[in-house]
Structure 1
Amino acid sequence: MQLTSFSDFAFRALLFLGDLPEGELTSITRVTEQYGVSRNHMVKVINKLGHAGFVTTVRGKNGGIRLAKPAEQIILGEVVRALEPMQLVDCSEPACNITSACRLKGVFRQALEAFLAELDKHTLADMLADNSELIAMFQLDTPA
């Protein structure tokens, strides 16, 4: 399975936010500059992450974004479920005229379940723990 760029950007944003000191806010601009991605696209990503309960946005002069819950509580499989269409192939008619006899849809469903089950074993905190190389790339000691 290949995740969309939307999920890719979401995971990048979550990693960056997950390394912020607890309670600290940052800006979408800072996240986009870190990764060199489109600000407009990242705004949509952060909005979706906010609606899904992974990110909190604070409006105003001293506003910004941060994780809505601890990184230990952000399960990778839940993020994928919130952002990705969970259908690997379109087995509906008229898109496919062999749906009633095809066994592939069952295999694809099992494969997707196995993929998500593996992601469910890992949290955002797991991706950040003992990952000094990634943390150094974020250069969080630079002014916002």
Structure 2
Amino acid sequence: MQLTSFTDYSLRTLIFLASLPDEELSNISEISQLFSVSRNHMVKVVNRLGQLGYLHTVRGKNGGVRLSKPAEKISVGEIVRALEPLDLVNCSVEFCHITPACRLKNKLAQAKLAFLAELDGCTIQDLLADNSELLILLARPE
């Protein structure tokens, strides 16, 4: 299974914003530059994370974005569920004539549940905790 780049950048954005001091803002330009992704793509990422309630947006000259809830309350599994198309294969009878007797679809469903269960046990904060190397890489230039 491979996550889409949209989900990848969404997770990176949440990790970066969680690394900032409480209530500190960042902006789309800073995030897109940090991860070397187009500003246009990052606008879509930030917009979607805002729609889902993970980001709070402050408008205006000194505006920006920050997490809307604590990083320890954001599970990686819930982010992946919200952003990823999780149907691994098309098992509709119209698409595959062996569907009625196929055991693969059940194994794939079990694997997907195990994958998500593992991610459910991990929060954005868990990815930052005791990870000074990551915090150095995410630090803003002085």
TM-score of the aligned structures, taking structure 2 as reference length: 0.95
Q: State the AA in 1 paired with 2:80.
A: V
C-alpha distance in 2 between matches for 1:84 and 1:127:
20
CA contact (8 A) 2:93 2:100 kept: no
The answer to whether structure 1 residue 88 and structure 2 residue 88 are counterparts is yes
Q: Distance in 1 between the 2:41 and 2:98 partners?
A: 37
Deviations 1:104-141 (A, max 9, x none): 11111100000000001110000001111111112235
Q: Deviations over 1:30-81 (max 9, x none)?
A: 0011111111111111111111111111111121011110000010100000
Q: Tell me the secondary structure at the aligned position of residue 56 of structure 2.
A: strand
Determine what percentage of the aligned residue pairs are the same residue.
58
Partner SS state of residue 57, structure 2: strand
The answer for the alignment partner of 2:97 in structure 1 is: 97
Structure 2 alignment gaps of length 5 or more: none
CA RMSD of aligned residues (A): 1.1
Contact 1:20 1:140 in 2 (8 A): no
1:135 lines up with 2:135 in the alignment:
yes
**TM-score by structure 1 length?**
0.94
Unaligned runs of 5+ in 1: none
Size of the aligned set, in residue pairs, is: 142
Counterpart residue number, 1:59:
59
For 2:44 and 2:58, locate their aligned partners in 1 and report how far apart those are by CA, in whole Å: 16
